[in-house]
Amino acid sequence: MKITEHIEKAKGKTLFSFEIIPPMKGRNIQELYDNIDPLMEFNPPFIDVTTSREEYVYIDRDGLLDKKLTRMRPGTVGICASIKHKYDIDTVPHVLCGGFTREETEYLLIDCHYLGIDNVMALRGDAMREEKYFEPTKGGHVYALDLVKQIRDLNRGKYLHDVIETDDCAHFCIGVAGYPEKHLEAPSLKSDLIRLKEKVDAGAEYVVTQMFFDNQKYFDFVTAARSMGIEVPIIPGIKPIAVKRHLQLLPQVFRIDLPQDLIDAVDACTNNKQVRQVGIEWCAAQSNELKAAGVPVLHYYSMGKSDNIKAIAEQVF
Ligand code: FAD
């Protein structure tokens, strides 16, 4: 079922959902299930599965380093299919511009269609670890907007190199990313919102936000988006702080601000167990306020760990 249909069906009730990351290559999928199981009591209608960018590894061959490109956390579509099959819920694979040619993307989408996956998140992807800025892959898309257009075309039976007369078109519901504190490369929040509107006008049916720790940022973002004519659901994506290092890491990686009260509370902790508890309390308070404001879904960035998300959900759902 489409995410937008889940939201309609809920008739104003806030839904619970979360995002997971595939395990490192060679690890067992059971680890994922062990972290999903405790969250199933909160009835997530869907789970997102991220896609990781490829990266370079250096293999020592008799003293000479051989540079190879690899993906450390492969398996997004397979994991989506296995979760869908095991729990009978919808899964949302993240589809990236970076690291994929348009043809590879088409084949991936065809796999998703065969597997009965109804939703996809269309994302540009981050720069590779070695790159300062995002470099488009040869033969791949430059912006998420182009990916949205490819998926929309496929929904109409328009493949890359053929228009296929078919009564079995995909009907992917397309999600895209939005940034309450603007995307780190955008020159202003307004210009980033103009880009977001382009994605929605091209066919995106819902938005999931980057994490934020001050709800006012989300409320202002929604107001600004609505004033520009972006009418689709805007799902808040939130994450509990889990370790002290997040105070430096999250602003550095995502260019987001942390509220001073949260910084002070984390600074006062003497170990990461206390930090995890502060993160739970902060995120639960955020969640309750967002829920009271009537957000359609609370979407948690779980990073594959469920104990803190469960502790939050118990206080909210
Ligand atoms: P875009 O919408 O393409 O925007 C990228 C930048 O380009 C923005 O600054 C935008 O303002 C600008 N822009 C857009 N169009 C134009 C144009 N025509 N001309 C000039 N500038 C333009 N990353 C992963 O690698 N894997 C994941 O699974 C993943 N999941 C995510 C899930 C969510 C909910 C979010 C919020 C982010 C996720 N990301 C993921 C991170 C995301 O890939 C990065 O933030 C990336 O840098 C931007 O992706 P985007 O889809 O927002 O890009």
Arithmetic mean of pLDDT, 191-210: 98
List the one residue out of 188, 185, 235, 174 whose CA is nearest residue 209: 235
Percent of the chain with pLDDT over 70: 100
Query: What would the 3-class secondary structure string for 195-233 be?
Result: HHHHHHHHCCCEEEECCCCCHHHHHHHHHHHHHCCCCCC
Lowest mean pLDDT among 2-6, 158-162, 179-183, 280-284: 158-162
- Using a 6 Å cutoff on CB, does residue 131 contact ligand 1? no
Neighbours of 157 (CB within 10 A): 15
Give me ligand 1 centre to Cα 179, in Å.
9
Atom of ligand 1 nearest to the CA of 50: 28
C-alpha distance from residue 224 to each of 182, 227, 230, 256 (Å): 12, 5, 9, 18
Q: In testing the pocket of ligand 1, which one of 51, 119, 124 has its CB within 8 Å of the most ligand atoms? A: 124
Q: pLDDT category, 62, cuts 50, 70, 90?
A: confident
pLDDT, tens digit, 9 for 90 and up, residues 73-117: 999 999 999 999 999 999 999 999 999 999 999 999 999 999 999
Lowest mean pLDDT among 171-180, 205-214, 234-243, 298-307: 298-307
- Using a 6 Å cutoff on CB, does residue 94 contact ligand 1? yes
The per-residue pLDDT for 74 is 93
Arithmetic mean of pLDDT, 210-215: 98
List the one residue out of 166, 68, 62, 149 whose CA is nearest residue 113: 166
Atom of ligand 1 nearest to the CA of 211: 36
The per-residue pLDDT for 2 is 98
Question: Considering the entire predicted model, what is its pTM?
Answer: 0.97
Catalytic residues: 19
C-alpha distance from residue 17 to each of 3, 137, 186 (Å): 11, 31, 28
Work out how many domains the chain is built from and give that number: 1
Structure tokens at 52: 């990781």
Percent of the chain with pLDDT over 90: 89
Amino acid identity, residue 52?
S
The yes-or-no verdict on residue 295 having pLDDT over 90 is: yes
Average pLDDT, the chain: 96
**Cβ neighbours for 139, distance < 8 A, ≥ 6 positions apart:** 101, 102, 103
Q: pLDDT category, 165, cuts 50, 70, 90?
A: confident
List the one residue out of 15, 7, 74, 2 whose CA is nearest residue 290: 15
The per-residue pLDDT for 287 is 98
Strand partners, 67: 58
The per-residue pLDDT for 164 is 83
The per-residue pLDDT for 303 is 84
- More reliable by pLDDT, 59 or 46: 46
Structure tokens at 1: 């079922």
Neighbours of 263 (CB within 10 A): 14
The per-residue pLDDT for 162 is 84
Ramachandran angles phi, psi of 52, nearest 5°: -95, 145
Q: pLDDT category, 61, cuts 50, 70, 90?
A: confident
Helix (H) / strand (E) element for 235: namely strand 234-235
Q: pLDDT category, 168, cuts 50, 70, 90?
A: confident
The yes-or-no verdict on residue 129 having pLDDT over 90 is: no
The yes-or-no verdict on residue 304 having pLDDT over 90 is: no
pLDDT, tens digit, 9 for 90 and up, residues 213-243: 999 999 999 999 999 999 999 999 999 999 9
The per-residue pLDDT for 22 is 96
What is the DSSP annotation of 116-175?
T--EEEEE--PPPTT-SS--PPTTS-SSHHHHHHHHHHHHTTB-SS-B---S----PEEE
Arithmetic mean of pLDDT, 249-278: 97
Q: What is the CATH classification number for the domain harbouring 56? A: 3.20.20.220
Residue nearest to atom 53 of ligand 1 (CA): 124
Atom of ligand 1 nearest to the CA of 210: 36
* Burial (CB count within 10 angstroms: exposed 0-12, middle 13-18, buried 19+), residue 164: exposed
- Using a 6 Å cutoff on CB, does residue 246 contact ligand 1? no
Helix 260-267 × helix 272-292 angle, to 10°: 150
- Using a 6 Å cutoff on CB, does residue 87 contact ligand 1? no
- Using a 6 Å cutoff on CB, does residue 177 contact ligand 1? yes
The per-residue pLDDT for 132 is 86
List the one residue out of 123, 43, 125, 114 whose CA is nearest residue 80: 114
Q: Domain range holding 252?
A: 3-316
What's the distance, Cα to Cα, between the start and end of the chain in Å? 22
> Tokens 């509370």 appear where?
265
- Using a 6 Å cutoff on CB, does residue 17 contact ligand 1? no
Atom of ligand 1 nearest to the CA of 184: 9
Amino acid identity, residue 136?
P
